Amino acid sequence: MSHAMSSLKVVRNYKFRLYPNKEQEARLFDWLETCRWIYNTALAQRKEAWEREKRSVTRIEQQVWLKEAKKTDEPLRAVHSQVAQEVLFRVERAFAAFFRRVKNGETPGYPRFKSKGRYKSLTFTQFGEGKGAYFKDGKLKLSKIGLVKIKLHRRIPGTIKTVIVRRDAVGRWWAILAIEKELAKQQHAGPAVGLDAGLEKFSALSNGSLIENPRYLRKTEERLKHAQRNLSRRKKGSRNREKARRKLAKLHAKVCNQRRDFLHKQSRRLVKTYSLIAVEELNIKGMVKNHHLAKSISDAGWGEFISMLEYKAEEAGTKLVKVNPSGTSQECSGCGMAVPKKLSERIHCCPYCGLILDRDINAARNILKSALASEAA
């Protein structure tokens, strides 16, 4: 059970299906290509200024450039000003992320130019009548695009701040609404639990229960391989190649949707049941570099699962605690002694206290103990 306390404001994204007509879709495609041109030009300006003058170009400078360019460029004038300006913010964020990675000693990855078809979304930064986007007659009014049919399959529980219009690989259009809503802070009265992520099982819980791994990608692998071979045989630029590409994209989308549905349901169930959830602080990016495990790790979707747990725990009044994973599988949860074992050994047998149980459940108990100790400190 959870009991309401004070409230806090949060921003959550809500996704709704859009159904633009042919004319609206053609205009959206034109806008995507124009925004791609703005992005690439702004990126080139920054790159050139640094190479020639060792000088950083600011977003304000580029906004002045964009304003001047609009005077002589008809496609630029056709794009709503909010949408065009937001592209420059994307370039700025790309460079900020690049410099942050350089500073942290990570592999930086210089911002890349967007090739044709690689720019997939448009952002209206203001919502409301007389602004970039608003609701009218049950449809989404996008300035300079028109009234677009939208499937509002769920209630909007707050104030809409921005609207992102996105096209997916299958060719469907979506409206992603950033909604600011007020959360009544909850105090959860349930028990505490430790979770150990696995590959054989999706997760082991410290109370002895296991969550099975549905392995959606593995189950669809043969169909994906067949669709990929079919695509590679088709002539580039042909209609048959586009059909094959869409078929492959639909299969990938189905796997992604199945996995996300599973993760949503499991994370919701856990935050409803437990007042404290302890998980390992996993380095997913580092783990997927192991080519033997990368596919299984990606198929499980641990990173996305932890993200879901984080925001759902906040809403449910559940505390999510991340602990150092070092030694959790090698230590005995009964007596605390080190019991080394190979990855292939699936049962924990302690020679000191005689405890015998699934190694992942043993690890989950250690994760919970570590979280409770850190909370008490």
Known catalytic residue: 196? yes
Between CA 72 and CA 234 the distance in angstroms is 41
Between CA 44 and CA 268 the distance in angstroms is 45
Q: What is the residue whose two structure tokens read 């460079």?
A: 95
Phi then psi for residue 89, to 5 deg, are -65, -35
Q: Which residues contact 194 (CB under 8 A, 6 or more apart)?
A: 205, 206, 277, 278, 279, 364, 365, 366, 367, 368, 369, 371
Angle, helices 239-273 vs 302-316, to 10°: value is 40
Between CA 161 and CA 9 the distance in angstroms is 13
Phi then psi for residue 58, to 5 deg, are -90, 165
Known catalytic residue: 168? no
Q: What is the residue whose two structure tokens read 């850190």?
A: 374
Phi then psi for residue 3, to 5 deg, are -120, 135
Which of 82-101 are b and which e, b meaning 16 or more Cβ less than 10 Å from the residue's Cβ?
Answer: bbbbbbbebbbebbeeeeee
Count of other CB atoms within 10 angstroms of residue 162? 20
Q: Which of 86, 182, 280, 331 is catalytic?
A: 280
Q: Which of 200, 221, 360, 375 is catalytic?
A: 360
Q: Which of 196, 299, 331, 358 is catalytic?
A: 196
User: Is 175 within 8 Å of 15 (Cβ atoms)?
Assistant: yes
Give the distance, in angstroms, between the CA of residue 174 and the centroid of all CA atoms in the same chain: 15
Region class of 205: left (phi > 0), else alpha (psi between -120 and 50), else beta: beta
**Catalytically annotated residues:** 196, 280, 360
